[in-house]
Amino acid sequence: MSNYSAQQSSISENNRSRILQYLYHNGICSRAQIAKAVGLTPAAITKITAKLLAQNIIEETGDMEGDKNRRSIGLNLNCGKYHVIGLKFARSLVQIGLFDLKCNRISLTDLPTVSEENINETVKQIHNTIRHLIAKDEKIVAVGMAVPGPYLIEEGHTALVSSMQGWRKVNFIKEFSEAFDVPVFVEQDARAGALAQFLFNPELSEGSLAYYLLGEGIGLGIIDNGTIYYGAHGTATEIGHISVDVNGKPCDCGNYGCLERYCSANAIHEMLNKQPYIVPGCETMTHAQACAALFAKNAAGDEATAELTSEIARYIGYGAVNIINAFNPTHIVLGDIVSQAGQPLLDEVKQVVRERTIPEVSCNTEITLSTLPTDATVTGAAAVAITNFLEHPSMFFDVA
């Protein structure tokens, strides 16, 4: 393909993508409305939408009222026609969800708890489960995967997975990219979560969004004015390995006092196992179950759990201070397992931010709890697939 042809193809793909994204976010629209919104001529819109209609990606919905009371034919993205799979890797927890294009969950499968010894078996189960879903559902068009960071996007594997190093041996690109009959997209888990917040919470789509993942690890995804921040190797924003105590607990990364050693679900479970009277039976629970039990007791007014929850929240607050000083985002959204601590956690985080940041720097940063389900990273994995579907339609259809 000549440079000119490649450039024209890129422009055409960009125009198709802009139309699909506009319909995705705005619902039924006329051709005239689309043309005005995306800055293309009516003739160009007619030509592009004709090809999208021919592939049944979009559909006509009948008459609608247009400008100056003229009747127009509405166009709508055919969201019900397509499904995606979202896959979450979180050390000991692997979840596989089936979603429609609006990220309404159709099904969710939890694989057996993962240990260092059964990672290979888990990978086989993932292959089998996804193949089974695709065989049963011809609407599935893509698979999105959310993996722990620091994820090396060009190499395809995670550089470090604290407490479960066996995941480092899995090359997600080699293992999964050609494994199924639909495209597979891999993203770092916190960035996947940020994508989900960006796609499904319109009020968070303006400015700079920081998704602060509080799960079995601690992660951060940044979207600044619609663009994901990656860094040189895709390992930027690894806030879980920022030291909050240079003489603190050793971390698998080689550093000391890393944030995730104090407020991740794994770290919280470790604390509870050392003080089993706080949550009786926690030794036999998963990390998520132990955290949920702790926060439930705290919500019921238990003093011992209140003190520990407050300590955890303060460490999360130290992370928020670093996020504000490093990235100055418009929004910080707290999500995943530990965010289930709810309002008490949020209040403590905000208090730490007030104590430890320059008011003029932090005053315009809004900190909130995620309104997505606690399995938001699975939703984020689906969002990765949906985003690629909208941005690169020619990967899925013959629309050239």
For 130-136, what is the mean pLDDT?
A: 97
For 89-112, what is the mean pLDDT?
A: 90
% of the chain residues with pLDDT over 90: 70
Q: How confident is the model at residue 7 (pLDDT cuts 50, 70, 90)?
A: low
Residue type, 144: G
DSSP labels for 272-337? HHHSTTTSTTGGGS-HHHHHHHHHHHHHTT-HHHHHHHHHHHHHHHHHHHHHHHHH--SEEEEESG
Mean pLDDT of the chain: 90
Interacting residues of 34 by C-beta distance below 8 A, sequence separation 6+: 19, 22, 23, 40, 45, 49, 75
In the sheet with 29-30, reading across from the earlier edge strand, the strands are 29-30, 71-77, 58-65
pLDDT at 377: 81
For 327-349, what is the mean pLDDT?
A: 96
pLDDT at 187: 92
CB atoms closer than 10 angstroms to residue 49:
20
Residue 61 has pLDDT above 80, yes or no: yes
pLDDT at 116: 83
Q: How confident is the model at residue 296 (pLDDT cuts 50, 70, 90)?
A: very high
Element (H, E) at 173: helix 172-176
For 103-117, what is the mean pLDDT?
A: 89
pLDDT at 157: 80
Residue 3 has pLDDT above 60, yes or no: no
pLDDT tens string 62-75: 777 666 566 688 99
% of the chain residues with pLDDT over 70: 95
Residue 91 has pLDDT above 90, yes or no: no
In DSSP terms, 85 is beta-bridged to 98, 143
pLDDT tens string 265-288: 999 999 999 998 999 999 999 999
User: How many Å apart are CA 320 and CA 218, to the nearest integer?
Assistant: 12
Residue 6 has pLDDT above 60, yes or no: no
For 296-313, what is the mean pLDDT?
A: 93
61 phi, psi to nearest 5 deg:
-115, 5
Most confident region among 65-69, 144-148, 322-326, 368-372 by mean pLDDT: 322-326
Q: Which residue is listed with tokens 């990219």?
A: 177
Secondary structure letter of residue 28 according to DSSP:
S
| Domains in the chain with CATH codes | 3-77 (1.10.10.10), 81-194+378-395 (3.30.420.40), 202-371 (3.30.420.40)
pLDDT at 270: 95
pLDDT at 169: 86
For 68-87, what is the mean pLDDT?
A: 86
Q: How confident is the model at residue 4 (pLDDT cuts 50, 70, 90)?
A: very low
Residue 356 has pLDDT above 70, yes or no: yes
pLDDT at 151: 84
